[in-house]
Amino acid sequence: MIDLTGWIEGVRTQQPLVHHITNYVTVNDCANITLAIGASPIMADAAEEAAEIAAMASAVVLNIGTLNARTIPSMIEAGRCANRRGAPVILDPVGAGASRLRGETANRLLQAMHVDVLRGNISEIRFIAGLSAATKGVDAAEQDATASADAAAMARSLAARLGCVVAITGKQDVVSDGNRTILIDNGHPMLSRLTGTGCMCSSLVASCCGAHPDHLFEATVAGILTMGIAGEIAYEAAGERGNGSFRVALHDAVSRMDDLQLAERARYHEAD
């Protein structure tokens, strides 16, 4: 299994700067969740400054929700700059498969740079793997979600092909680097009733990767565990009150997360 000691502590100690080029729907949540886990967010999407900002950052998140033509070159600049410096690049292919623009851009980014961690829902990752994906907007399609028996195999083979960590989040999360594949059972259904929990998960993964660039597989697992466990804690604290209270409690839980909680509540196992 994975030694979960030190992953959150490392973020809080190092406060890695995480450069985001992301959508305007959930950008505030991403900034706040990055601060909550102890990292430092900077959002900057202009081509004139993308590389310059990426050059200061410990990790770069590229998120293609509300994509538009202006920010695609910025994403490529930022990603390539991070590559040159050895800073991890996290790609969140929001809605890949929902439109040609998003599908083509996800693939273009994967060709233009080395992506270190690819995190999406099952429909998005199926699309990138070249499998037929039934998408329903930015949410995973039901027929994809229930076919999660195949998810581990797909993640493993895609990770091997791309030479990166692939993470599929959903009812059961899958993380694979092509060799090791972990299945995670933490989380709560309320997380899917809030916008941006996927985007925030990518920000948490980036925060952990920024603090632990030599252990991207474990850092990705730590980021996803943080989101799932925070979702459970938030539901226990406030979930019955409704979506607004759950959201507040989710931010509370991430801001109070530590390695001990992570180790005690983590429920995961290696795939066969």
- For its own copies, the binding residues (CB under 8 A) are 17, 19, 23-29, 31-32, 35-36, 40-46, 48-49, 52-53, 56-57, 65-70, 95, 98-102, 136-139, 193-196, 241-245, 247-256
Work out how close the CB of 146 gets to its own copies at its nearest, in angstroms, rounded to a whole number. Answer: 16
Work out how close the CB of 240 gets to its own copies at its nearest, in angstroms, rounded to a whole number. Answer: 9
Q: What span, in angstroms and rounded, lies between the C-alpha atoms of 155 and 176?
A: 6
Q: Closest Cα to residue 113, out of 172, 50, 175? A: 50
C-beta closer to its own copies: residue 65 or 88: 65
Work out how close the CB of 17 gets to its own copies at its nearest, in angstroms, rounded to a whole number. Answer: 5
Query: In angstroms, how far is the first alpha carbon of the chain from the final one?
Result: 13
* Spatial contact of 129 and 103, defined as CB atoms under 8 Å apart: no
H or E stretch covering 62:
strand 59-63
C-beta closer to its own copies: residue 135 or 181: 135
C-beta closer to its own copies: residue 215 or 251: 251
* Strands of the sheet with 40-43, listed across from one edge: 40-43, 17-21, 59-63, 89-92, 117-120, 165-168, 173-176, 181-184, 268-270
C-beta closer to its own copies: residue 29 or 116: 29
User: Which own/partner contact pairs does 132-136 have at CB distance under 8 Å and 24+ positions apart?
Assistant: 133/97, 135/95, 135/97, 135/98
Work out how close the CB of 135 gets to its own copies at its nearest, in angstroms, rounded to a whole number. Answer: 8
Which tokens is 216 given? Answer: 């991207």
C-beta closer to its own copies: residue 40 or 107: 40
* DSSP structure string for 158-189: HHHHHTSEEEE-SSSEEEE-SS-EEEE----G
Work out how close the CB of 264 gets to its own copies at its nearest, in angstroms, rounded to a whole number. Answer: 18
CA distance to 29, 122, 168, 216, 268, per residue, from 87 (Å): 23, 26, 22, 11, 27
Work out how close the CB of 231 gets to its own copies at its nearest, in angstroms, rounded to a whole number. Answer: 13
C-beta closer to its own copies: residue 25 or 131: 25
C-beta closer to its own copies: residue 107 or 245: 245
Work out how close the CB of 31 gets to its own copies at its nearest, in angstroms, rounded to a whole number. Answer: 4
Q: What span, in angstroms and rounded, lies between the C-alpha atoms of 152 and 271?
A: 7
